[in-house]
Each structure stands twice: as structure tokens, then as C-alpha cells.
Amino acid sequence: MSESLFSVETTFFADVILPVPIPRMFTYRVPRNFVDEIKIGARVIVQFGKNRVVTAVVGRIHQTPPEKYQAKYILELLDNEPLITQQQLWLFDWIADYYMCCVGEVMNVAVPSGLKVTSQSRIQINPDFDHAELLDEQEIGFLDILKNHASLTYDDAIKFVGETNINAMIKSLIGKHAIIMYEEVKEKYKPKIAKKVRLKRVYEGTEEVANLIDSLAKSAKQQMVVLEYLRQIPMHQLSERNQLGVDKALFTKGETSDSALNTLIERGVLEQFEVIVSRFSDDLPPEPVKIELTEAQQQASDEILTHFGEKDVVLLHGITGSGKTEIYIDLIQKVLEGGSQVLFLLPEIALTTQIVVRMKRVFGDKMGVYHSKFSDNERVEVWRGVLEGRYQFVVGVRSAVFLPMDNLGLVIIDEEHEGSYKQYDPAPRYHARDVGIMLGLKQGAKILLGSATPSLESYYQASTGKYGLVSLNQRYGNAQLPDIHLIDLKAERKSKTMKNDFSGTLCQHIEHNLENGEQTIIFQNRRGYSPYLNCQECNWIGECEQCAVSLTYHLDSKELRCHYCGHKEEIPRACPACGSGKIKTVGFGTEKLEDDLRIMYPTARVQRMDLDTTRTKNAYQTILGEFEQGNTDILVGTQMISKGLDFDRVSLVGIFDADRMIHFPDFRAAERAFQMLTQVSGRAGRREKKGLVLIQTNNTNQSLLHKVVSNDYMGYYNEEIKEREGYFYPPFTRVISITVKHEEQDKAEKAAHWLADKLLEKLGKARVLGPEKGMVERVRNKFLFDILLKLEKDKLNIKAAKIFLQEQIDAVMTQREFRGVFVVVDVDAV
DNA sequence: AGCACGCCGACT
DNA sequence: GTCGGCGTGCTC
């Protein structure tokens, strides 16, 4: 800020974004020594409240002193260059506005926590203190300890004193001015350090090395280390490459010994040094791959480019296995060559699969990967990499929309229909597809949405001509679409051919597959063993204490679990209500199917993949790896298995509980069911061989199922879009879901009614649904009431409606009688 | 969201 | 009489 040179007397203020859910910025004073360096988007450290020190981001710099209060000084400036670009700040505001939350909340999820500083209280002796007579025995003892340390953390102090509660003593000491407490602030991010060794410079010549080896003749181990070193760095390149050194770890295993290496270091033959390395090892050297598109792919690609000539967004509707990835890669290459950045979004689960490996091979270290299972440090490296221009291209999950890209040429959102692009908890409840589109539009980039089963929203936009539409109806290579059959469970029950929950038809095909060494996928979108336990005598059902839902029986972990709050309890041996031992499981989840399969086919290798078996970082890959290698015959899984995996030997897919998906009480049930069934079916028979899909149902007459069977997306779409239009649901309206919570049912209900009445008054009956009891009445001991707003996009000023809604929510919360009521707003709820 | 201040019950 | 329960209100 060079103006300061001309206006030495001017005081500058910075409005900063704090990581708190308060809907405004806070004004701090810029100390004179930062005036020249401070920039919008830089991080600063400020004191917030009495004893809190937090990282904030500068949102505005100005010269207007606040009228009503004295601004505090910024304590520290962390960046000389903005860490958050202008583009991002704009996006943060847009998200806060659109999704009705605070900018601070957006910042909180956007910025990796590794870029926030942590503060820790430290205790230090007051050097000016000379009133020892004021202290009691314990305090004198503590002060003695403190004399021997520059400072202590709270935890250290507890250890030294040997008591768990030292609050009182600390307070007393502060009161007597014997000690000082202060906040120590430090960056969380730690670069990864590699320990390396290299030959001292004097040995870099050929002759010198030869002499060195000779001189080590008596100590075989040391000689071996040097010879190993020379194997890594050939003699003739020694002088150029020696300075780069070799990983020290290389010598600690195998033939060479650590101690011999250390001796050589001590003797001054080798020297040890440290370098900062990337956490992303480039074990896959980029090989410039020329992507060969098939005729169909080439045509689709051309069409996409033509559409981009006049439209910003294009929807690529490509059936499963049509080879969308190649089209993406080709397009990405073109955009990168043009010097622009590319952002590629994928749902979480798809990111763990082959597609990333494939892209990494093509793009090498130009490509960054942003994943939620990455550690903080790893995320910081990707963030910095983007900022510094090392990554022109990022493949990532929904939160990758927050990366500091400001020169986007293309945003690709693959599997755009995926519900997991929507974040629910915590706020901001954003949809990464929509944020991605906004982000792209703002930067003048083109946006490509891809899916085999586009969301109604996107397809509607395409059908009205707002988005360009490109269809790929052919499977890649010789692959054929699978045959899909419905299995009539009613008929099978009548003819007594069911084995547990498996139809006889499905069993026959599984057996056939086992005999032929082909693989089977069993899909059941419900985890656990059974959704509840039921006493045969008194009809008792195991329920969660805190939520109004039954507890799911988990065989694996031998416990009952609540899928809403995570509560766990032991499995009762006898009925807790009547003492009867006749408790049975009702319904089935993935665990039961797995268990049944093991019993029915003892020699088959059965694996299960659901949330419970993929908790750890690599579990997902391990299970898939086993399956890919052919070490698994039958894979049982939830929707996790429906994404982006293609395996050659899967010739059969069995689908359970399709009916439950279709009849879920929610206006998106049909859409979700169609997408899920189609996606899962797509796992069958990828190359050469035609696959078979068997869908078990109690009602073979359901029109949606027939659309799945005949792979009739258009038929399904036309039917569903009529429904949506008739009942004023998206894409014809925007939906805002409002949940009112309170421990007391009565209070929650009254507050919900109060709010709904206000909304009704203003918006009219057709636009306000509810309040209704939550689908689950009580979660974590709070009663829930739902209100749904349906706001037309064309006839209504949605912005104004949102402002009105916020005002009314504030009004509810500030009312005495509704004290403690909590309201959650979810814009574009899915 | 934190965090301190503040006003009522069970303990040395 | 004190510790400490969590209700309420503020944070530049």
C-alpha cells in the first residue's frame, strides 16, 4: 500500500473475516509497520475476545475508524502475498449469501486447518515479582519449577504439580502478579524433511573415490556403504549429482548398515543434510500420452467444443462405460496447452479409483490431487502448489472448489448427479456442482458436467437450451450393455424357492458364476446386519435413547448402533422389556447378506464393502485391489460399489431392496433410485462379455423399474419431470429446507409453527410446506420439525425471500419463549 | 462458536 | 461459608 508514503498520519483499518459464525467482519487497526505489506487476502493474527487469539483473513482495508468502539491492533501479519485470492473472497461471499451462512463458516471449511495457526496458553514467571510472602506452600513449589523453565504449557504445569486441577492456583498466582500467561502462536503446517547423505566435496573426483575405496579395504561394512552410494550415483556423474545426495534411509536396510554409515559421517567421508520434500512422491513418471479417441468419442468431443462456442455449460450424457474419461483427458490437455487452469471434481469414492492413477500418468506433477483423506499438511501443499502455479490442474472432491485457482479455463464435474456433492454438516451447506459452475462462470471458464444418469436439474437446463447437450450412447470398445431382469419375489415366495433373502434365480446365477470363476456384485444400500431387533414375545424393538430410530444390529462389531447419532450399546441376551430370550433380527443389511453367502457357499471368497469396512485410509483400495486381482468371488456392498469401478470379470450384479429406494418418502426418491439402479447395473459386463443384472422386487409392475431394465433414461426423465412440474418441485422451484430443533417437543413445534405462519403470510400457501415432524422425530435428544419452502425461479425474487426468511429466523431465536431453539437452513437440500 | 461473567445448589 | 452447575450475552 504505497499511499502510506504520502499520508504518514493516516491510520489504516482492516475488516477481517474471523472463523466464527457471526455474520459480519470485524475491524482491527493496522500497525504502522504492516501498512506497506498488508494486502487483502493475507492472513493475520488478532486477539478476539478476552483470551482468544485467532487467524483471520483480511477482507477490506480502509481508513474509516469505527465509531462505537476502539479497534484492537492486528498482532501479526502472516503473509506478504494474499493466501486467499480476490476470486476466492468473492466466492466465499457468494456462498455465504446463497446458502445463508456466515463468511467465517465458509472460510472455515475452505481453508485447510494447516493454514490456521494454533494458539496455546503458556505460563511464565513474572520477572518483576518480589512478594514471595504472599504465596502459599504449593504456589512457592510451583514457582520454583517455573524458575527452571522459560515457560510451561498448561499440560506441563499439571504434570509438574501432580494435580489435575490447577485452575485455582493459576488464577491466584495471576492475581498476585507472580506469573504471566500468554498465547503462543505457531503455524501448524510442517514441511516434510528428508534426511540425505552425500560425499564430501573432496571425494568428487574419480581418482579420489578410487583412493577412498582402497583406503576402506579393512572395514568391509564401510566400503559397502560407499559402493552402494556409487551404485546410486554413478562415478562418471559424481561431480554433477553428488550434491543432490541419496536418501539416508536407503542405507538403513538391506546389506549396508546404519552404524557403518554413521561412522563414515563421523569420519568426514560422507556428510548428512536435510531437504524439504513434497509429500507427493512422483513415483509415476509422466509419460506424454497421446489419447486416441474412438470415432464416437471424437464426435462427442467435437460437439462439446462446438457448444462451448456459444454456451458456458455443457452436459455430457454418456452411458456407463462409454469412455467419458478419455474425452475429459483430451479436453484438459487442450485447455492446459492454452495456458489456463483446469479443475476436475469427482465424488469422494470415485477419487480412490483408477481414474486418478490414469490421469496422474498423463499429467504427472502438473496435476494436484485434493482429497478429504489427505492429512492437513498434504492439503496445505496442494493449496500452496496451486497458489505458486505448480499445479495447473487439480483433481479433487467437493472441497476442491475452494482452492485458489484464479485463471480457470475449464471446470469438469464428473458424476454431476451425485448427492455427495452436497455438504450438509457443518455449514456451509453448499453444492459443489453449483459452486463449481458459479466459480467457472465468474472466471470465464467453460463448464462440463458429466453423468450417465444426469440430475433432473441439469438435464432440464440442457433440454431448455440453457446448457449444451452431448450424448454418448455407445459403450467403449466391444462392450455391451448388460441384460437387466426383474425377479418377482412374490412369485418366488409362493413357490418357496427363496433362500433367506436370496431368490432362487439369483442363487442359480451366483452358483453358475462361482463354477466359472466369474465375479458377482451384490448391492444392498443398507449397512449393518439388520435394521432392528424384535422380541417375539412382547414385540419390543431396540431403539436409540437419544433418537427416535431403531438401533441397527451389527454382527461384525457385536453391538447395536444408532446410524443417526453414533450411539452404541451391547446386544441384549434377553429382551430388556420382558426377559424373553426370543429376540430375532428383522430385515437385512450388507452384513447379513455377507453372512448368508458365506453359509450358502462356504468355499466362495466373499468380501464386503461399506462404510464400516472402509473406515481406514487404505481399506477401500485393499478391498478393491483384492477384487480386481480376482481374489474375491462375491463383493457385497452399499452404494459405494456403484462408482467408477470397472472390472472385466463381473458378469453378474444382484440388487436387493430396490423397492425401499423407490418408495422412500422424499420427492427425490425416484430420481435417486433410477440413478443408483442404473449405476450399479453398469458394473456388470464391461468388456467382451455381456453382463447380467438381477433386480429383486415385490412389484414387477413399477414403471421406474422398467425404465431401468430398458435403459430408458429419456422415458424416466419425461415421466419424472412431469411430476416435478405438477407438484412444484425442482427444477421448477428452488427448495429450502428449514429444520427447527429443541429438546422439548412442544417448544420445537411451537417455534416451527410460528416461523411457518410468518412465512405463509408473506409467501402464500403453495410455497410453504409444513411444519411437519421430522422424518426422524428426535435426533440426539432434540425434536425436529421440518418446513419446506418451494420458491419458483422465475416469478419470485428468491434473494428477497431469503432475506425475509433470515429475518424471521432471527426473530424466532430472539424471542423469550423460544429460548434455546435452533434453526438449520438448507438451501437446495438434496 | 468460544468464553467469561453471573447467579443458585451440594460440599470441605 | 466455597466450588461449580450451565444460562446469557458479547466478541472489533
Q: Is the CB of A268 under 7 A from strand B?
A: no
Residue A285 pLDDT: 60
Q: Is the CB of A171 under 7 A from strand B?
A: no
Q: Is the CB of A393 under 7 A from strand C?
A: no
Q: Is the CB of A611 under 7 A from strand C?
A: no
Which chain A residues 798-827 have CB under 7 A to strand C?
Answer: 819-820
- Return the C-alpha cell found at A517: 470363476
Q: Is A732 exposed, middle or buried (0-12, 13-18, 19+ CB in 10 A)?
A: middle
pLDDT tens per residue, range A710-733: 999 999 999 999 999 999 999 999
Neighbours of A76 (CB within 10 A): 15
Residue A2 pLDDT: 47
**Would you say A565 is a known binding-site residue?**
yes
Q: Which nucleotide is nearest to A22 (CA to C1')?
A: B1
Q: What is the pTM of this model?
A: 0.87
Nucleotides of B under 7 A from a protein CB: 1-5
Q: Which nucleotide is nearest to A426 (CA to C1')?
A: B1
**Does A259 have pLDDT greater than 90?**
no
Give the pLDDT band of residue A165 (cuts 50, 70, 90): low
Three-class DSSP category at A726: helix
Quickly give A165 CA vs C4 C1' distance in Å. Answer: 13
**Would you say A507 is a known binding-site residue?**
no
Using CA atoms, how far residue A144 sits from A174, A178, A568, A643, in Å, is 16, 12, 47, 63
Residue A164 pLDDT: 62
Q: Is the CB of A21 under 7 A from strand B?
A: yes
Choice among A174-183, A432-441, A646-655 with the minimum mean pLDDT: A174-183
SS3 per residue for A84-104: CCHHHHHHHHHHHHHCCCCHH
Q: Which nucleotide is nearest to A70 (CA to C1')?
A: C12
Q: Which residue has the higher pLDDT, A574 or A344?
A: A344
φ, ψ at A58 (rounded to 5°): -70, 125
**Would you say A538 is a known binding-site residue?**
yes
**Would you say A101 is a known binding-site residue?**
no
- Distance, in Å, from the CA atom of A112 to the CA atom of A551, rounded to the nearest integer, reads 35
Q: Is the CB of A50 under 7 A from strand B?
A: yes
Which chain A residues 124-183 have CB under 7 A to strand C?
Answer: 165, 167-168
Three-class DSSP category at A631: coil
- Distance, in Å, from the CA atom of A469 to the CA atom of A463, rounded to the nearest integer, reads 8
Q: Which nucleotide is nearest to A26 (CA to C1')?
A: C12
Quickly give A52 CA vs C10 C1' distance in Å. Answer: 13
Neighbours of A223 (CB within 10 A): 18
Neighbours of A472 (CB within 10 A): 24
Using CA atoms, how far residue A23 sits from A19, A20, A93, A337, in Å, is 11, 9, 11, 42
Q: Is the CB of A49 under 7 A from strand B?
A: yes
**Does A588 have pLDDT greater than 70?**
yes
Quickly give A99 CA vs C8 C1' distance in Å. Answer: 28
**Would you say A578 is a known binding-site residue?**
yes
Quickly give A169 CA vs B10 C1' distance in Å. Answer: 23
Quickly give A355 CA vs C3 C1' distance in Å. Answer: 60
Quickly give A493 CA vs C1 C1' distance in Å. Answer: 76
pLDDT tens per residue, range A106-156: 999 999 988 887 777 788 888 777 777 777 777 888 888 888 888 887 777
**Does A830 have pLDDT greater than 50?**
yes
**Does A527 have pLDDT greater than 90?**
yes
Using CA atoms, how far residue A5 sits from A2, A9, A12, A35, A337, in Å, is 6, 10, 13, 10, 42
Give the pLDDT band of residue A235 (cuts 50, 70, 90): confident
When pLDDT is averaged across residues A685-697 and rounded to a whole number, the result is 85
DSSP H or E stretch at residue A77: strand A76-77
Q: Is the CB of A27 under 7 A from strand C?
A: yes
Q: Is the CB of A186 under 7 A from strand C?
A: no
pLDDT tens per residue, range A297-335: 999 999 999 999 999 999 999 987 788 899 999 999 999
When pLDDT is averaged across residues A93-105 and rounded to a whole number, the result is 97
Report the amino acid identity of residue A302. D
Neighbours of A64 (CB within 10 A): 9
Quickly give A161 CA vs B6 C1' distance in Å. Answer: 30
SS3 per residue for A141-159: HHHHHHHCCCCEEHHHHHH
**Would you say A547 is a known binding-site residue?**
yes
Task: Give percent above pLDDT 70 in chain A.
Answer: 95
* Sheet hosting strand A634-637, strand order edge to edge: A483-488, A692-697, A650-655, A519-523, A634-637, A606-609
Which chain A residues 71-90 have CB under 7 A to strand C?
Answer: 71-72
